Chains A and B, each alone.
Chain A
Amino acid sequence: MKHYLLTILCLLFIFVDHCPAEEMDIDTLMQQVEEALNGKTAQMNLTMRVKTSRLERTIKMESYSVGKDKSFIKITYPRKDTGVTFLKIDNAMWQYVPRIERVIKIPASMMLQSWMGSDFTNDDLVRESSIADDYHCKLIEKGDEYLVELIPKEDAPVVWGKLLMWISKEHLIPTKVRYFDEENQPVRVLFYNEFKKFGDKMYPSKWVMENETIEKKGNQTIMEITEAVFDQPVADHYFTKRALKQFSQ
C-alpha cells in the first residue's frame, strides 16, 4: 500500500511540476529566439534575389531596426527602384516612391501582396516579429534541434493555419520555418542558412524562402546579409514618416 501511495505521489509531483515547466520553457525559448533574431537593434545591408520560372532579379537594400517594432528599409539597387523606402512602426507600414513623391500607407487589404515581387509579403515585414504574441507554441521535439509548432491564437490577426519552426540549439535562432495554410497545406518554407559572426553575434547570413504552392512551385527568394551591426544605437529619426522622403536620396 505504501508502495502504491509513493508511486502516485511521485507521478502527481512529476505531472504538476512538468506542465508549467514546459510552458515556461517554451515561452522562454521563443522569447530568446525572437531576441536573437531581431537583436536589440540591427543595421544591415542586404541583397535579395528573386527567382521565378521566367526571370531573376536582384535588389539591394539597407535596413535599420529597433527590436521587433520599428524598422526602416531603403532600396539602393536597381536604379529604377533606388530611393524607394519603407517604414514599419508596430503593425503599420508606409512606403515612399520617389517617382511619385508620395508617402503611402499600405492598407490592411494589401498586406498579403508580394513585397517587391518577392516571396515575402508586406505582412511578413509587419507581423513576422510578433510570433510570441499571436501563436500558441508547443515544443514537439528536442532532438538535434528544437521543433516548435505554432498555432494561431483565436483572435490573432494571422493568415497562417500553422507554423513549424526548427530552432538551432546552439544559436537559439530558427534554421527553418514551414508555413501552412488554414487547410494545413504547406505554402512556403523559409531556411536560415550560413551562420556567420557579425561582431559578437552569430547570425544566419542567408535566408531562402521557397514557395511550395503548386502555382508557384520553384519560385525562390534569397536574402543575403552582406553586412550587419547588432545592438548598436540606431538614430530615432529613421523611424518617422519624414524619414521616408529624407533618407530616400
Chain B
Amino acid sequence: MIPWKLVLKNIRGYRKRSVVTVVLSAITTALLVFSSAIMDGSHNTMIKNAVEIYPGYMQITHRDFRDTPGYENLIFDLDSLRRSLANIPDIAAYGARFETYVLYSTEARSVGGMLTGIEPRAEKQLSRMASSLYEGEYLDDEDGAVVYIGFELAKRLKVGIGDELAFIGNGADYSMAADVVTVKGTFRTGLFDFDASAAFMNKRYLDEVMVSRNMATHVIVLPANVEDCGKIEDRINQEVGGDNVAESWFRTMASLVQAMKLDSVFGYITLGIIFIVIFFVIMIYTLLTVYARVREVGVMRAIGTTPWGIFVMLVSESVLLSLVGVLLGGLLGACVAYYFYLNPMEFAGYEEQFKQYNMVATAIPADFAPLVIARDMLIMFVLCVCSTLYPILRLNRYRPMDAIRHV
C-alpha cells in the first residue's frame, strides 16, 4: 500500500529538492532524446545520400558480379528478368543499367572513367541522377549519341554542352567499342569522385555500340515502400532464381551500414559516460536530501512504520519526481528533435568534411521517431529511479533511536 498523501506532501514540502530533481531528470532526458535524434538523423542522411544518389535501394546482378565484376558475369537474359519483375507486386519501378569503363577523349586530353547505359525515364525514379542536372538537359528514352556527363569529368575533358567527345572501350563481346557523342547535359551530385569519372547514355543506344542487347550489369529496383526491402528481396530471389540475385541496400552497402553501427556504438558510449556522471550527480544529491530527513524517518519508525513502508514511500517519491522529469524532458527533447526534423541543421562551410562521409548536403535533419523517444525516456526513468535506491537503502539501515538522535 503506497501512502500517496504522504508522498505528495513530502514532494510539496521539500519543494527545492523536488524542483532540482525534476530539472536534472528533465535536462538529461531532453539531452538523450535530442542526441539520439541527431545521431540517427545524420546516419539516415548518410545512408539516404549513399543509396539514392546512384546505387539504389535494391540491385539485381549476376550472383558473381559483386565479387568479380566483368563481362563474364552479366545478366544475360534481361527480357526474361523484366517479365519476372512485372509479376511481383509492391515494386514501384525498375530499370536496367550497363556499366562499363572506357577511355574518354577530346582534343584536349584523354581520361579513363565509367560509362553507364541507363533507361532515362525509369532512372528518374531510381536515383537522383535526373535531379542532379547542372547544365543542359537530362537524357530521354529516344536519345542517341548524346551523353550526360559528370560536371568534374566535363571540366577535366574541357567540354561543355553541345561539344563532342569520343570514347573507346571493350564491348560485351570484347570487340573494340567506340563512338563520338555530344554532351547533352552535365550533372553535379556533390560526390567529387563520382562527378569526376561518371557519364551516362541511353542504354538502348549504348547497347548497339557495346553489343550488349538483352544484357545488363545491374537492374535497379525501387520497392513501393523502402522499409519492405527485405521482403521484396526475398520475393524477387524466389521469382527470379537462376544466376541472378537481388540484394537490398543493406547488403550492397554493408560496409556503410557497419560504419554507421560502429559510429552509433561510439555515440552511445559517449552518452553512457555522460549518464554515469549524471547518475552519480542524482545519487549524491538524493543522498544529501535523504540524509536531511534522517530524524523524520526515525520518528516514523518509532511510531510503528516498517522499513519496507519507509522504502515504499521514498521510492514512490523518487518514481513520481523521475516520471515528471522524464516526461517534461522527453517532451522538450521531442519538440526540439521535431523542430530540427522539419528544419535541418545547416553546416555551411563544412562541405569538404561532409564529402569524406559521402554526404552531399550540408543540412542534417534530426530523426523524429516516437518509438526511439519512448525508449530513451524509459532508459532515463529507470536510471533516475535506480540512482535513488542506494541512498534510500542506506537511510533504512538506521535504527529508530539512532535516526532520531542523528544531527
Interface residues of A (CB under 8 A from B): 50, 52-55, 57, 75, 78, 80-81, 84, 95, 97, 99-100, 102, 104-107, 109-110, 113-114, 116-118, 215-216
Contacts and interface: CB of A to CB of B under 8 A. Distances in A.
Interface stretch (B103-111, B231-239, B250-258, B371-379): B103-111
Contacts of B262: none
B178 interface: yes
B166 A102 contact: yes
Contact of A107 (B68, B111, B180): B111
Nearest to A114: B170
A181 to B, nearest CB: 16
B175 A102 contact: no
Interface of A: prevailing SS: loop
B176 interface: yes
A100 to B, nearest CB: 4
Interface of B: 67-68, 70-72, 101, 103, 105, 110-112, 166, 168, 170, 173-176, 178-180
A110 B166 contact: no
B168 A113 contact: no
Contacts of A57: 173-175
Contacts of B111: 107, 109
A54 B71 contact: yes
A55 B74 CA distance: 13
Contacts of A105: 110
A80 B175 contact: yes
A55 B103 contact: no
Contacts of A118: 174
Given A57-B173, A95-B168, A100-B168, A110 B112 contact: yes
Contacts of A95: 168
A117 B103 contact: no
Nearest to A101: B180
23 contacts: A52-B72, A57-B173, A57-B174, A57-B175, A80-B176, A81-B176, A84-B176, A95-B168, A97-B178, A99-B178, A99-B179, A104-B103, A104-B105, A106-B110, A109-B111, A110-B103, A110-B112, A114-B170, A116-B170, A117-B174, A118-B174, A215-B70, A216-B70
Contact of A100 (B67, B173, B180): B180
Contacts of B70: 215-216
Contacts of B68: 215-216
Contacts of A75: 176
A78 B112 contact: no
Contacts of B178: 97, 99-100
Contacts, number: 67
A122 to B, nearest CB: 10
Given A84-B176, A110-B110, 7 more contacts: A97-B166, A99-B179, A100-B166, A102-B180, A106-B103, A107-B103, A110-B112
A54 B70 CA distance: 11
B145 to A, nearest CB: 11
Nearest to A55: B173
The 10 A-B pairs with the shortest beta carbon distances in the complex, nearest first, are A117-B174, A215-B68, A97-B178, A100-B166, A104-B105, A100-B178, A81-B176, A110-B112, A100-B180, A109-B112
B174 A78 contact: no
Given A106-B110, A110-B103, A110-B112, A117 B179 contact: no
B67 A116 contact: no
Contacts of A216: 68, 70, 72
Contact of B176 (A55, A97, A106, A110): A97
Contacts of A215: 67-68, 70
Given A80-B176, A81-B175, A81-B176, A117 B166 contact: no
A107 B180 CA distance: 19
Contacts of A102: 105, 166, 180
Contacts of B105: 102, 104
Nearest to A213: B68
B25 to A, nearest CB: 57
Contacts of A52: 71-72, 174
Nearest to A218: B72
A50 B170 CA distance: 13
Nearest to B181: A100
A78 B173 CA distance: 12
A117 B72 contact: no
Nearest to A57: B174
Contacts of A117: 170, 174-175
